[in-house]
Amino acid sequence: MDINLHVYLERHPEIKCNLLFRNYLRKNPDIRDAYAELKHQLIQDPSMMIRNQEALGFPQYTIEKSAFVEKILDDIGYDLP
């Protein structure tokens, strides 16, 4: 099984962001399922794992799902850094 582990220094602002996002998905199963479907669709394309050098080296997969994530964070009132 593949896993994706996020590790941050204590009190790093990304911790709050990730927990808010997780909690929102837990409370909104329709949104959670839509996010899962988006991720499933993206992963079907092997080119999604290629790192985009114009986007700080993030995989295209991360870039493609970022609008969905940012919309949720905006909806819950998280001020993006």
CA angle 59, 21, 47 (to 5 degrees): 15
C-beta separation of 58 from 51 below 8 A: yes
Q: How far is CA 70 from CA 38, 50, 62, in A?
A: 14, 22, 12
pLDDT digits (tens, 9 = 90+) for 22-55: 999 999 999 999 999 998 998 888 887 777 666 5
Q: Are the C-beta atoms of 76 and 70 separated by less than 8 Å?
A: no
pTM: 0.76
Both tokens of 2, joined, read: 């593949």
